[in-house]
Structure formats: structure tokens, C-alpha cells
Amino acid sequence: GAGVSQSPRYKVTKRGQDVALRCDPISGHVSLYWYRQALGQGPEFLTYFNYEAQQDKSGLPNDRFSAERPEGSISTLTIQRTEQRDSAMYRCASSLLGTASNTGELFFGEGSRLTVL
Amino acid sequence: GNSVTQMEGPVTLSEEAFLTINCTYTATGYPSLFWYVQYPGEGLQLLLKATKADDKGSNKGFEATYRKETTSFHLEKGSVQVSDSAVYFCALTYTGGFKTIFGAGTRLFVKA
């Protein structure tokens, strides 16, 4: 597709279940980012990939959160043993350029809204 | 550390009113500065950007000037329309970095 695609758009799960959120970036984009956005707040950085390499995961809240991008394209953010505090909008973004020159824009998907009951 | 502070909303204006949304930043080095807009039900999209001091970014009638001396990047529009109703996010990417750091967002309502 032409834009960043995320699935599912909405996910309701019970506390303790694992969830996987998928991101399909714009074709040819080197960099892929995961952000989390709480209601009324700006996006908060979680992790970042250049191609298949995870360059920084310092924003992941704890070891229940992990992300991968095995072939340098589609990425999956996995949350294990979900807790109510994990409820948020999870946004994926991609950009054309890598870390060499990050003055380019981020292209965001519509997000995956996660609700943990 | 690097951070972005923007004015709290919501901001409510009548159509054709002048808009200013304040944004200040703290950063090491020379960041690039951005305004993103989020329309209802959509993802964030870039509105405008400026990559060095005194640059002016502009798009769709919106403008913002990178002011290093005041560490600010205020968003302005001379005459807002109902269709400008959205949430506006100020953001920065710092020198040599890759993280884009966002402010909390300012919701704008424009009444007909």
C-alpha cells in the first residue's frame, strides 16, 4: 500500500494475555519506529530499527515488551502478560533515511488501540 | 535532556481568527524542529519543519520560525478554517540522533 499500515486497529484483551501488533512500513523506508501514545499525550518513543537491526530499545518500558523486524520490512511489537497500564494507542512510523541524517519526516500509521481489561 | 513544551489546549477560535500555538524546546546541539498535525481518526502527519536557526517552515497557510535565541518554534496561521480543527504536536530530532521527541499536543477547535 501507499502508507504505513498497522493491524489490528483495535485490540481488546484480558490481563495476562500476550498481544502482537503488526506494522507494514512504506516500501523502501529504511527506518521504522514504534511509539506509544496515552490519551491526551504526545507519542512516546519505544524502539527503532534501521533495516532489520534494532538500533535502540531504550524506550521499551520493561522486558514484557519486545519488537522485531526480521527481514527489514514488516515489524511486530509483542507485549507479553499484558497489564491494564499497557492500554494505549501504539503507533508505528517509518522514514526514508537512516541515522546518517534524520532531518526527514516520519510517516505514521493510524495506530493500534490496545485495551487491556 | 531533550524535551518539548507546548501550550495546553484546547484552543477554541472562530473561523478567520489568528492562531498561535506556542512551543519551546530544550536540546543539546542543533535540533531539527517539526510540527505534526493529527486530524480526527487519522495518524500524525508532518505539517512543516525547519532544520536550522532562522529557517521558516510553511505549509497550508501555517508558519513557524526556528528561533535559537529563544529556543522556540511557535506555530501561526493568519486565518483559521473549520477544517483546521485537529491536534497539533511540536517535535524535535536532535543532532546526530534518531529519536523524534514530541510535545503533549494542543487541540484546536475552530467554530464556524
Which positions 1-30 of A are in contact with B (Cβ < 8 Å)? 4
**By percentage, how much of chain A surpasses pLDDT 90?**
81
Cβ pair A42:B89 closer than 8 A: yes
**Beta-bridge partner residues of A103:** none
pLDDT at A94 exceeding the cut of 80: yes
A49-70: pLDDT as tens digits: 999 999 999 999 999 999 999 9
Cβ pair B98:A91 closer than 8 A: no
CA of B78 vs chain A CAs: smallest distance (Å): 25
* Residues A5, A109 contacting (CB under 8 angstroms): yes
CA of A4 vs chain B CAs: smallest distance (Å): 9
Average pLDDT of every residue of chain A: 92
| A44-50 vs A107-108, strand pairing mode | unpaired
B49-108: pLDDT as tens digits: 998 899 999 999 999 999 999 999 999 999 999 999 999 999 998 766 678 899 999 999
More confident residue, A35 or B8: A35
**Which among A42, A103, A108 has the least Cβ separation from residue B32?**
A103
**Which among A35, A41, A55 has the least Cβ separation from residue B98?**
A55
Sign of the C-alpha dihedral computed for residues B8, B93, A38 and B88 taken in this order:
positive
CA of B56 vs chain A CAs: smallest distance (Å): 15
Cβ pair B101:A103 closer than 8 A: no
End-to-end CA distance of chain A: 33
Please provide residue B82's backbone torsions phi and psi, each rounded to the nearest 5 degrees.
Answer: -55, -35
Helices (H), B21-71: none
Please provide residue B84's backbone torsions phi and psi, each rounded to the nearest 5 degrees.
Answer: -85, -5
Q: How far apart are the C-alpha atoms of A48 and A27, rounded to whole Å? A: 17
Is there a cis peptide before residue A25, judged by omega within 30 degrees of 0? no
CA angle in degrees (0–180, nearest 5) for A114-B86-A8: 20
Cβ pair A102:B34 closer than 8 A: no
* Residues A56, A82 contacting (CB under 8 angstroms): no
List the single residue in B with minimal CA-CA distance to A113.
Answer: B41
Contacts of A45 in chain B (CB under 8 A): 99-101
Please name the residues in contact with B22: beta carbons below 8 A apart, sequence gap of 6 or more. B6, B7, B72, B74
Please name the residues in contact with A100: beta carbons below 8 A apart, sequence gap of 6 or more. none
DSSP string, A4-64: -EEE-SEEEE-TT--EEEEEE--TT--EEEEEEE-TTS--EEEEEEETTEEEE-TT--STT
CA of A48 vs chain B CAs: smallest distance (Å): 8
Q: What is the pLDDT of residue A102?
A: 56
Cβ pair B43:A103 closer than 8 A: no
Q: How far apart are the C-alpha atoms of B80 and B42, rounded to whole Å? A: 20
Cβ pair B93:A42 closer than 8 A: no
The answer for B109, left when phi > 0, alpha when psi is -120 to 50, beta otherwise, is: beta
B11-64: pLDDT as tens digits: 999 999 999 999 999 988 888 999 999 998 888 999 999 988 999 999 999 999
